[in-house]
Amino acid sequence: MHENKTILITGTAGFIGFHLVSAFLKLDFKVVGIDSINPYYDTKLKFDRLKFHGISLEHIRSEKGLESNILKDEPIAYKSSIHEKYTFYKANIDNQSSVEEIFNKEEPEIVINLAAQPGVRHSLTYPRDYITSNIDGFLNILEGCRSSAVKHLLYASSSSVYGLNSNLPFSSKDNVDHPISLYGATKRSNELMAHCYSHLFKIPTTGLRFFTVYGPWGRPDMALYSFTKSILEGVPIDLFNNGDMIRDFTYVEDIVESIVRLIDKTPASSEDKSLLDQPYTSTAPYRIFNIGNNNPIILGDFLRVLENALGKKAIINFKEAQPGDVYATQADVNELIQTIGYSPSTSIEDGVKRFVNWYKEYYNFN
């Protein structure tokens, strides 16, 4: 059904992007990936994700090679050695000419934008990284979609847009005008930018508000990954707000399944003015969905699940809450269920166990 369709995914050396490449290759899409291999965290993990799909970049593995490659203006294309339908571009989405060249050459019908500068705490020290990647970069993606007549743009937003909202569960019907981190503000900006392009140029756009995604091949700066590393190495864990924080942990395969089902649910324009009463819909071809497990857990309890999976206790340093941290998240996924007939449901026990098994294999822990 999808054998002749081209899907462009940004951030394919990243966590969710890696899993999406696997999913869409199985569905027989022609997959085009983009990633700058930003050294925000250990690039070895990013190179290994690419290698898993047959993209070998051994010649730029060194930091010196990586830096010199990042500085080049032209996008560099690599063909997978194991997947005929996968092409990867070493490129940065905040480089306008690179994005234009890739869109013109590949002519994607569907685009999924995951490339971004992540992390709430990083934004406290390096705010300009978020404007460059999350705002300038997203504008380039929107312009690429505009020039190529893309049929559907899906893009990563975040539960961080809910900010000071204290009504749980977070609903896509809620006001999101009070973010408390620059990261959250840039993600909300993406939603507003997408609406403008949906309204002005009739580009169908779908925003995806992810809730604390975890699983195999995850990000080292996220709690599950860093906690696992510390416990296995006998290093103390900093548990902020004394562990009294609540997160709606969502397993990565549930995220991927939701996105796959949303691909063909293309938003349409409407004359129904009542759609403007709901912030997640519009008369423009525009929608926003929460994608979360809707089963939040206290961080301290989450740590105990991890300890059970590892068979080892954590050494804990209790810390005060940090600026920009939201106390609790929980996703209302009613709109998602109504649209695709699916809701993330992997239990935290099963998800953590799968991650631990992957982590031990990847790092050779016996």
Q: Residue 190: which CATH number?
A: 3.40.50.720
State residue 71's pLDDT score. 46
Query: Could you give phi then psi for residue 287, rounded to 5 degrees?
Result: -145, 155
Residue 255 is assigned to a structural domain of this protein = yes
Smallest Cα–Cα separation from 57: which of 73, 33, 41, 40? Answer: 33
Per-residue pLDDT tens digits for 293-305: 999 999 989 999 9
Per the structure, how many domains does the chain have?
Answer: 1
Residue 125 is assigned to a structural domain of this protein = yes
Both tokens assigned to 300: 């301290």
Q: Cα separation of 231 and 209, whole Å?
A: 30
State residue 239's pLDDT score. 85
Q: What is the mean pLDDT of residues 227-248?
A: 90
Query: Could you give phi then psi for residue 307, rounded to 5 degrees?
Result: -60, -40
Per-residue pLDDT tens digits for 59-114: 666 555 554 454 456 788 999 999 999 999 999 999 999 999 999 999 999 999 99
Both tokens assigned to 356: 């631990």
Residue 208 is assigned to a structural domain of this protein = yes
Counting residues of the chain whose pLDDT is more than 90, the rounded percentage is: 83
Per-residue pLDDT tens digits for 108-155: 999 999 999 988 888 888 999 999 999 999 999 999 999 998 999 999
Mean pLDDT, the chain, rounded, equals 93
Residue 322 is assigned to a structural domain of this protein = no
Catalytic residues: 183
Counting residues of the chain whose pLDDT is more than 70, the rounded percentage is: 95
Per-residue pLDDT tens digits for 12-69: 999 999 999 999 999 999 999 999 999 999 999 999 999 999 999 876 665 555 544 5
State residue 324's pLDDT score. 67
In the sheet with 30-35, reading across from the earlier edge strand, the strands are: 76-79, 86-90, 30-35, 6-10, 110-113, 152-158, 205-210, 286-291
Q: Cα separation of 59 and 234, whole Å?
A: 35
Q: Which stretch, 58-72, 169-183, 230-244, 309-323, has highest mean pLDDT?
A: 169-183
| 39: DSSP letter | T
State residue 1's pLDDT score. 55
Q: Residues 311-338, buried b or exposed e (16+ Cβ, 10 A)? A: eeebebeeeeeeebebebbbbbbbbbee
Instruction: Please give the residue that has the higher pLDDT: either 335 or 320.
Output: 335
State residue 322's pLDDT score. 75
Residue 306 is assigned to a structural domain of this protein = no
* Domain residue limits at 23: 6-212+251-292+331-345
